[in-house]
Amino acid sequence: MSGPVALGGPVVALSGGVGGAKLAHGLMRQLPGGALTVIVNTGDDFEHLGLHIAPDLDSVVYALSGLADPVKGWGRDDESWNFMAALKQLGGEDWFALGDRDLAMHVERSGRLARGATLSAVTARFCAALNIAARVLPMSDDPVRTRLETSEGTLEFQDYFVHRQCQPVVRAVEFVGAGAARPQPEALAALQRPDLRAVVICPSNPFVSVEPILAVPGLRAAIEATPAPVIAVTPIIGGKAVKGPAAKMLRELGLEVSGETVARRYAGLIDGFVLDITDPPPEPIAGVALRRAATLMQTVGDRDGLARAVLEFADGLR
Amino acid sequence: MSGPVALGGPVVALSGGVGGAKLAHGLMRQLPGGALTVIVNTGDDFEHLGLHIAPDLDSVVYALSGLADPVKGWGRDDESWNFMAALKQLGGEDWFALGDRDLAMHVERSGRLARGATLSAVTARFCAALNIAARVLPMSDDPVRTRLETSEGTLEFQDYFVHRQCQPVVRAVEFVGAGAARPQPEALAALQRPDLRAVVICPSNPFVSVEPILAVPGLRAAIEATPAPVIAVTPIIGGKAVKGPAAKMLRELGLEVSGETVARRYAGLIDGFVLDITDPPPEPIAGVALRRAATLMQTVGDRDGLARAVLEFADGLR
């Protein structure tokens, strides 16, 4: 089964990169055109080779436009790497892989930002050019940068994530600039709509994908204030993260590696939490309805199925 | 025959893009490592998509490193165009073709310039990375921009050259910023060396490739002052330019389309001028020795042959 479900009203999703982008894609496919707004983490944006790289925005745009690489999980499908080969030949920094097609996004974005456009405006242009039937919004047009206190000192996110391949032990996470950042106005307005159907916290890393969004002044408060159901989906299945360092970070921060730990972390903010169907039934959590569903998204059908399960769960909590 | 010729001493070449780059390559191949300094036009540099594009510097670097596309005459050999396809898909400006490999030069250069490096320093890095046995220097590290008065109004060079494919009628040429530009210090010093063997004005467009270099304060005076022979090579063969708008510009400026016209334009600056072997023997020009040689460079052997002819001509004028 596919296509829009019966119940109307806009939906807001909060997303980091790959996992979140997949569920956002599933949600877009279930909802009428324009009903989905995705608020995306920009805490792992960085300047590289003079270009503004926005990994999570790109992952969401690629997933929603059908351009994402289905195997690697990041970057574009049908990619080539001749730029990187030439850059290496010139003695340039080559620790961050930029595909030839992917590079168009970074160059075009950076050029427009340099000429005064906002990150929101550039992203909206990309979504229009790629016929994306959802709004994709950065959490803020102001810079917020995730920085990690680790066993190897203070590291910028991409230095930790890509350059050092998540090897250092994480002791603390901070979102530099978050205090002064203004929430993206449409993002805030979407969360404040009285007809909001649901807020979905996608299966993204809580520490470095979701919490940067919640750290932007006004966004957490708007989620707390909405009468709409707020549902989060586990990024942990069977004690492991599907992708990325979420499980490793949980361990290093002294927490049990389980969906339940993530659910407790979101307690007070969420009304419902989706655990994976393969995990055991959890202990009850005060104020949080629990549901199990198939959260591993390997096919587009998996995305559709999880999106429907999340929307039905939300609608049942009204 | 190949390899260094007997006579020593450094040689300075002045070059624009493709044709000049080919002779510079031939000269480098005839001279001991490090003996050649190429002073390159930067009047057609421009900002595009937020990147600093330096077409003539790139043509020279590609020619000297053996990376140039032998068929197109510009850009890199073994090039791919996936960046451009993706840029077009995103609604970006696609009138200026940037190959995937070529883009590495523009991105790396722009990033380093943004972090405070000079154009000279960036170019030197590229030459070192590509094992180029010559110095390649921009005429100035300060911005000079060639602007054309045309039948379609005032146009920036690349707008005229690439975007409008040289269609507008040229009425005048100006080099914006030239008056305030400082000559690249090593370029000036190279021209002032007492042991200079020759200055070679390569077969480049006089109006938009060579004269921007001569417009940088100090460079023309240094060429006028050197005791070394100054030789120019015709960019016109049989009443036509080998490449680019030189012939069209000569016509539009009311001048005869011939090597002789170019030789007269350089009179006072040069000691010798090389016309093409297929052109008729010219009328004598006061103060300018004339020589005919095979100036069409289709093979590397042609570059070598012309370079040797130019050096022998120069050595004979001492």
Mind telling me how many Å the CA of B111 is from chain A's nearest CA? 4
Nearest to B203 by CA among B70, B293, B69: B293
Over the stretch B268-315, which tens digit does the pLDDT of each residue have?
999 999 999 999 988 999 999 999 999 999 999 999 999 999 999 999
Is residue B207 over pLDDT 70?
yes
Of A181-185, B69-73, B126-130, B216-220, the range with the lowest mean pLDDT is: B69-73
Name the residue in chain A with its Cα closest to that of B79: A82
Residue type at A67? L
Residue whose tokens read 């690489």: A69
- Let me know: does A233 contact A248? Beta carbons within 8 Å: no
- Let me know: does A292 contact A276? Beta carbons within 8 Å: yes
Over the stretch A242-286, which tens digit does the pLDDT of each residue have?
889 999 999 999 999 999 999 999 999 999 999 999 999 889 999
Interface of A with B in 159-218 (CB under 8 A): none
* Tokens encoding A253: 């921060």
DSSP A49-75: TTEEE-HHHHHHHHHHHT-B-TTTSSS
Is residue A129 over pLDDT 90?
yes
Mind telling me how many Å the CA of A130 is from chain B's nearest CA? 7
- At A42 the three-state DSSP class reads coil
User: What band does B256 get if pLDDT is binned at 50, 70 and 90?
Assistant: very high
Interface size A-B, in CB pairs within 8 Å, comes to: 112
Q: In this complex, do A87 and B107 lie within 8 Å of one another by their Cβ atoms? A: yes
Q: In this complex, do A50 and B107 lie within 8 Å of one another by their Cβ atoms? A: yes
Calculate the alpha carbon distances from A277 to A281, A294, B237 in Å: 9, 5, 78
Q: In this complex, do B90 and A125 lie within 8 Å of one another by their Cβ atoms? A: yes
Given CB atoms, is B90 within the 8 Å cutoff of chain A? yes
Over the stretch A210-245, which tens digit does the pLDDT of each residue have?
999 999 999 999 999 999 999 999 999 999 998 899
Q: What pLDDT was estimated at residue A7?
A: 65
- Let me know: does A296 contact A302? Beta carbons within 8 Å: yes
DSSP B35-73: -EEEEE--TT-EEETTEEE-HHHHHHHHHHHT-B-TTTS
**Chain A residues in contact with B99 (beta carbon < 8 A):** 82
- Let me know: does B140 contact B177? Beta carbons within 8 Å: no
**Is ipTM over 0.85?**
yes
Q: In this complex, do B85 and A101 lie within 8 Å of one another by their Cβ atoms? A: yes
Average pLDDT, chain B: 95
User: What band does B243 get if pLDDT is binned at 50, 70 and 90?
Assistant: confident
Give the burial string for B8-33 (b: 16+ CB within 10 Å, else e).
ebbbbbbbbbbbbbbbbbbbbbbbee
Mind telling me how many Å the CA of B66 is from chain A's nearest CA? 13
Mind telling me how many Å the CA of B79 is from chain A's nearest CA? 8
- What domains lie within chain B, and their CATH numbers? 11-316 (3.40.50.10680)
> In 10 A of CB A130, how many CB atoms?
17
User: What band does A58 get if pLDDT is binned at 50, 70 and 90?
Assistant: very high
Share of chain B above pLDDT 90, in %: 93
Higher per-residue confidence, B7 vs B55? B55
Nearest to A90 by CA among B308, B22, B62: B62
Mind telling me how many Å the CA of B185 is from chain A's nearest CA? 24
* Tokens encoding B151: 């039948």
- At B267 the three-state DSSP class reads strand
Q: In this complex, do A90 and B115 lie within 8 Å of one another by their Cβ atoms? A: no
For A285, counting Cβ atoms within 10 Å of its Cβ (0-12 exposed, 13-18 middle, 19+ buried), the class is middle
Over the stretch B110-146, which tens digit does the pLDDT of each residue have?
999 999 999 999 999 999 999 999 999 999 999 999 9
Interacting residues of A69 by C-beta distance below 8 A, sequence separation 6+: A62, A75, A76, A77, A79
Given CB atoms, is A66 within the 8 Å cutoff of chain B? no
Given CB atoms, is A248 within the 8 Å cutoff of chain B? no
Nearest to A266 by CA among A298, A294, A300, A230: A230
* Tokens encoding A77: 């499908």
User: What's the predicted TM-score (pTM) here?
Assistant: 0.92
Query: Nearest by CB to A86, which of B82, B104, B115?
Result: B104
Mind telling me how many Å the CA of A64 is from chain B's nearest CA? 14
Given CB atoms, is B97 within the 8 Å cutoff of chain A? no
Over the stretch A73-120, which tens digit does the pLDDT of each residue have?
778 999 999 999 999 999 999 999 999 999 999 999 999 999 999 999
d(CA B112, CA B107): 9
Name the residue in chain B with its Cα closest to that of A129: B90
User: What band does A72 get if pLDDT is binned at 50, 70 and 90?
Assistant: confident
Query: Nearest by CB to A100, which of B80, B111, B129?
Result: B80
Q: What pLDDT was estimated at residue B3?
A: 39
Q: What pLDDT was estimated at residue B70?
A: 81
d(CA A314, CA A289): 10
User: What band does B2 get if pLDDT is binned at 50, 70 and 90?
Assistant: very low
Q: What pLDDT was estimated at residue A8?
A: 79
Q: What pLDDT was estimated at residue B7?
A: 65
Is residue B4 over pLDDT 60?
no
Is residue A2 over pLDDT 60?
no
* Tokens encoding B299: 């093979």
Interface of B with A in 119-148 (CB under 8 A): 125-126, 128-130
Q: What is the mean pLDDT of residues B80-105?
A: 97
Cα A10 to its chain centre, rounded Å, is 18
- Let me know: does A57 contact A237? Beta carbons within 8 Å: no
Name the residue in chain A with its Cα closest to that of B106: A87
d(CA B118, CA B251): 37
Is residue B62 over pLDDT 70?
yes
Mind telling me how many Å the CA of A18 is from chain B's nearest CA? 21
Q: What is the mean pLDDT of residues B30-41?
A: 97
Over the stretch A182-211, which tens digit does the pLDDT of each residue have?
999 999 999 999 999 999 999 999 999 999
Q: In this complex, do B76 and A86 lie within 8 Å of one another by their Cβ atoms? A: yes
Over the stretch A161-179, which tens digit does the pLDDT of each residue have?
999 999 999 999 999 999 9
Average pLDDT, chain A: 95
Interacting residues of A71 by C-beta distance below 8 A, sequence separation 6+: none
Nearest to B309 by CA among B281, B273, B280, B270: B273
- Let me know: does A51 contact A107? Beta carbons within 8 Å: yes
Name the residue in chain B with its Cα closest to that of A123: B90
- At A78 the three-state DSSP class reads coil
- Let me know: does B30 contact B308? Beta carbons within 8 Å: yes
Query: Nearest by CB to B92, which of A79, A99, A108?
Result: A108
Q: What is the mean pLDDT of residues B216-229?
A: 98
Is residue A6 over pLDDT 70?
no
Q: What pLDDT was estimated at residue A263?
A: 97
Interacting residues of B316 by C-beta distance below 8 A, sequence separation 6+: none
- Let me know: does A250 contact A263? Beta carbons within 8 Å: no
**Chain B residues in contact with A46 (beta carbon < 8 A):** none
- At A4 the three-state DSSP class reads coil
HSE, side-chain direction, 13 A CA sphere, residue A254 = 2
Given CB atoms, is B100 within the 8 Å cutoff of chain A? yes
> In 10 A of CB A288, how many CB atoms?
21
DSSP A140-204: BSS--EEEEEETTEEEEHHIIIIISTT-SPEEEEEEETGGGPPBPHHHHHHHH-TT--EEEE-SS
Over the stretch A15-30, which tens digit does the pLDDT of each residue have?
999 999 999 999 999 9
Mind telling me how many Å the CA of B82 is from chain A's nearest CA? 5
